[in-house]
Each structure stands twice: as structure tokens, then as C-alpha cells.
Amino acid sequence: MTETDTHLSAGPPQLTRLTFHGPLSEQRAGRLVERLARTGSATVLDIGCGWGELMLRVLEAAPGATGVGIDLKAQDLARGRRAAGERGLAGRVEFAEESATGTTRGPADLVLCVGSSQALTALEPPALLPDALRALRGLVADGGRVLLGEGFWQRRPTEAELANMWPGASATDHHDLGTLLDLAVEAGFRPEWTETADAGEWEEFESAYQADAEVWLADHPDHPLAAQTRERLDRHRAQWMGYRGILGIAYLTLVPVR
């Protein structure tokens, strides 16, 4: 294959503009890391870690702490390992390609589960979240913390709105914020801190999620992969417009009840 052939076959770059795989600003991340590092955690477990950016920042803020991130996406885990090496954290963190369902990796002093509760259970909504919360209670040590990043409905969506979201979207896919907090309490936690992503964080995330491929597509409209890339981008943008202002993300810092 020639250099030209290699260039033509390469698809769009992916997710290089994302720092976190979710609507999380630098400012909020900084506050979360500072608060979590103050708890004196010696062990950190990141469920559905992706490339583990938040975990790596906690380890930087808590010298001596060690971390384990588990995920099924090898590409994301490889990115996390590279980042750990570049930041001098390779000896303090493990990125494991494995399922979180039924994991025995705990108990840890700090458990991160940001947008990944579905990784902890085989159940479907609405039973998914209560089961995932019970699993999290078993994975965190007494006196520790769980950071749960979880979707919630800012208001109940109509059937017409659900039809414009992800395939098979249902009103039972998420709870409202009050119910989310109640479920955490029922699972054996007390909510130390409750905060939610704002509109700017959502727009930053959704734009960065698409930006690499959008710019590539504008530059390569006749590429063999252009049609499928265009369809994917247009579909995701339409879905975002469907849940924009309706789907929220809560960041809950949870304390396990002894």
C-alpha cells in the first residue's frame, strides 16, 4: 500500500478533543478532584473507566494512592496507559480490559462510576440503577466515597421527544433527580454532595464529541468513508437535539453508611 493509499483509507480521527467522556468542565473536575483527594483515599477503583482521566487526576492529587480502571474498550484503555506513562503514574495504576459486572476488585476507598452504572449489572431500566447502586455499595470501603455520574430526566419527556432520542428510548431509562437521590439512600449511601452538569458543559461535550469527524468530513467529502461518517454524525446530532435540555447528568458524591 502506498502512502497515498494509506492516507485515503484512513478514517476520521476520534475523540481527540475530549478530555472527559462526558459533560464535565475543567472547573467542576478540579473541584471534584480536590474534594475527593481530601478523603485520604489510598485505593481508587474506576468502573467503566475509558481512558481514566478523572482517576489519573485523583492519583496526581493523592500521592501514594493507587488505582485500577476497568473497561471493555481496548482503545480507550491504551489511551489511558499512555497518559499514565506520560504523567509518571504508570507504576500506580492498572488499566484492565474486563467486565465490571460481578467484579471482585473492591473494596476500594474511592469508587468512580461516571456514566457507567450499566457496566455493573445485566438488568435493564428501571431495575438497572438500583442493582448498580447495590453493587457500588459492595465495592466501596466503609469511610470511603463513591462518585456517581448518572443521567436523570430534568423533566419527563413526551413520547414525541423520546422518538427523537436514541433508538428505543423510554421514559423508564432514567429517573428524576429526587428519585435518583432516594435510590442512592435506599442502597446504603448518604449524599455528601449533589451537582449537575450545566448547558455549557453539555455543549462543550457534544461539540467535542463530533468535532474531529466533522472537520475531517468537510475536508474529505468524497472519501470512501464519507457517507457512513456523515450518516453517523447527522444521526447523533439529531439525537442530541432530541434530548437537549431534557436529559441531565448528576455528579453525586456518596458516603457509604456503616
- Model confidence pLDDT, tens digit, residues 213-254: 999 999 999 999 999 999 999 999 999 999 999 999 999 999
The rounded distance, in Å, linking the Cα atoms of 22 and 78 is 19
pLDDT value for 9: 54
Whether 83 is in a domain gets the answer yes
pLDDT value for 111: 98
Cell of residue 147, nine digits: 462518585
Whether 82 is in a domain gets the answer yes
pLDDT value for 10: 79
Mean model confidence pLDDT for the chain: 95
Whether 72 is in a domain gets the answer yes
Whether 48 is in a domain gets the answer yes
Whether 208 is in a domain gets the answer no
CATH number reported for the structural domain that contains residue 87 in this entry:
3.40.50.150
Whether 218 is in a domain gets the answer no
The segments of the chain whose pLDDT lies below 70 read 1-9
Cα atoms found within 13 Å of the Cα of residue 198, Cβ hemisphere only: 5
pLDDT value for 118: 97
3-class SS at 224? coil
* Lookup result for grid cell 509518571: 88
Whether 3 is in a domain gets the answer no
Whether 79 is in a domain gets the answer yes
Domain total in the chain = 1
Residue 82 lies in domain: 26-153+170-198+246-256
pLDDT value for 203: 98
